[in-house]
Amino acid sequence: PQQGHGCRTTSQHEPQALFQPEVQRDLLDRAGEHGALLREVRRVAALVREVDARLADLRERARARGSRIEILQYRLAEFDQVRPEPGDEERLRGIRERLRHAEEIGHGIEAAIEAIYEGDDAAHDRIHGAARRIRTLGGHDEVFVELAERLDDLRAQIVEITADLRSEAEALAPDPARLEQVEERLDALERLRRRFDGAPTEDIIASAEAMRRELEELSEQGEEEAGLAVELEAQLEAYARAAEKLHQARERAAEALADSVSDLLAGLAMEKARVEIDVVYEPPSGQADGALPAGRDRVEFLLRANPGEPARPLRKVASGGELSRVMLALDIALEGRLPRRTLLFDEVDQGLGGEAADRLAAFLERVARSHQVISITHLPQVAARASRHIYVTKKVRSGRTVAVVRSLDDEQQRIEELARMIGGRMVTDTARRHAEAMRAACTTSGAAE
């Protein structure tokens, strides 16, 4: 392993997971058991994104809808200006024809009235005389009476026809203004027909009805957009409430976790050190992209190594030993609330000895119950509690320095190396007995894998 500090498999100067704000926030949420609050924030944030996406889609379509609405309104205005009815053109053409030839038609009507009713030898008078003569024959046969009545009926029809002809003559008086109106109406109907590709009047009316239905549907879509905008505003307010509630819980958890870690650090020869956790709330922007699934808090872990010194972010802590102990204390404080993983500690025992080294070893053993712990150490108190040992040394071969890694699978090998750590280069029987006692004490306490 390369020299460095903390829990990692990277070199000393590379970023570590604990330095990442989202990791620190996650640790705080695990400490405070904020699962339900986080789920609520994520749920509302998802709703915000969903409504915002639907609203954006509607607004995108609204641009095309606006153009379509303008076209429909323009064409319906043309239709409503004319308002054609079925049979309009045929009826108006007939009126135009009569108005154009009013004088000719009037003369014809006068001649007809003269012939059937008003003339000296009018049909009405001749039929009347014929009916009288036929009726005188009724004494000879009843059939002549019936025929006379039929002639009277015919005379009555002539009277009615004459009246109708007179009405038509009065209606057909030359009227240039009326003729102009009819011509203009026919021109308007023709222009409208061309706008509708020469369709019959019945089809034009049907098309206008279809356009009105489409315009109504498009207007309803505009109402839907307004409704979604109101819904988005409501969801943003719900998100702000959920995020604020999560923030308050995080503030409480930050104080408790900082106190717990600081107390644990005191047992690792950092009696004066204090861990602080800043939780900075950034109010939502009121826009959908501000509804972050993890809330609106920026979480920063800080370490005040000694009284009178400023609290510094963990990412700026230079001491590998201090950082490693903070991480170890966090693992203990969050015992049972972190996923199982591999932890690599180097320099965690830096500057420790005696009782502090014993406490460190006990802490490492405790963490190893939940995680795989690898510790690079020069302290026999720490090494004695391990369940597996790997011995690393350096040798020169063919002019090159190489690292030799050897697994100590035999218990006697482990005791011999522990004795070497206790006594130095010269391993004495006293050192061996001390090593045996340390191993015996540790194995009875149950070292974790």
pLDDT in tens, 280-298: 999 887 888 889 999 999 9
Summary mean pLDDT of the chain: 83
Q: Is this structure's pTM higher than 0.75?
A: no
Chain centroid to Cα 319, Å, comes to 46
Q: How many CA atoms lie within 13 A of 310 on its CB side?
A: 3
Lowest mean per-residue pLDDT among 30-39, 195-204, 257-266: 195-204
User: In whole angstroms, how large is the CA radius of gyration of the chain?
Assistant: 53
Residue type, 406: R
Determine if residue 278 is left, alpha or beta; phi over 0 gives left, psi from -120 to 50 gives alpha, anything else beta: beta
Q: How many CA atoms lie within 13 A of 140 on its CB side?
A: 6
Q: What is residue 240's predicted lDDT score, i.e. its pLDDT? A: 93
Q: Is 273's pLDDT higher than 50?
A: yes
Q: Is 9's pLDDT higher than 60?
A: no
Using 50, 70 and 90 to split pLDDT, how confident is the model at 16?
A: low
Rounded CA-CA distance 378/347 in Å is: 9
Q: What is residue 114's predicted lDDT score, i.e. its pLDDT? A: 84
Contacts of 227 (CB under 8 A, 6+ apart): none
Q: Is 300's pLDDT higher than 90?
A: yes
CB-CB contact of 280 with 298 (8 Å): yes
Alpha-carbon separation of residue 236 from 43, 48, 248, 279 (angstroms): 12, 6, 18, 22
Classify the C-alpha dihedral 74-76-82-86 as positive or negative. positive
Contacts of 98 (CB under 8 A, 6+ apart): 105, 172
User: Mean pLDDT throughout 383-402?
Assistant: 87
